[in-house]
Amino acid sequence: MPISHISLRAGKPEAYRQAIFDSLYRALRDALDVPEDDQFMTISEQDAANFRYGAAFGIARSDDLVFIQITVFNTRTAEQKRALFARIAELLGESPGIRPEDVFVTILEAAKENWSVGHGLAQFA
């Protein structure tokens, strides 16, 4: 049950943003075996004055940079995470056409007992 937050520079059309959702969801299903219809995602758009990035690690990024933060159960292996990073970059390259240099992903892990997905219950504790 990943929760994904995506930040990008404002001004992209709705179809572009929907393609990000679709490609990210497909990558999560492919690499982490996320169940069908397990989609919890948001996109936040930032104007130019509130969107800053650099060339850390020698990567030449552009204004098409997307920051993706994914929170998951703390049960994923390093191999699964590497596969997810690669699959996200691949699929976002296909649609909506984001360069791999502009795909910045972080994974945050939380113990299952730290999740409540509704009704005030700790469904996984």
Answer yes or no: CATH 2.40.160.20 is held by domain 3-114. no
Contact present, 64 and 9 (Cβ < 8 Å): yes
Q: Name which of 94, 2, 5 is nearest 86 in CA terms.
A: 94
DSSP state of 118: S
Q: Which residue has the tokens 């995506």?
A: 6
For the chain, the structural domain boundaries read 3-114
Give the global pTM.
0.95
Q: Would you give per-residue pLDDT tens digits along the chain (125 residues)? A: 899 999 999 999 999 999 999 999 999 999 999 999 999 999 999 999 999 999 999 999 999 999 999 999 999 999 999 999 999 999 999 999 999 999 999 999 999 999 999 999 999 88
- Residues with a known catalytic role: 2
Going by their DSSP bridges, the two strands 103-110 and 66-73 should be labelled as parallel
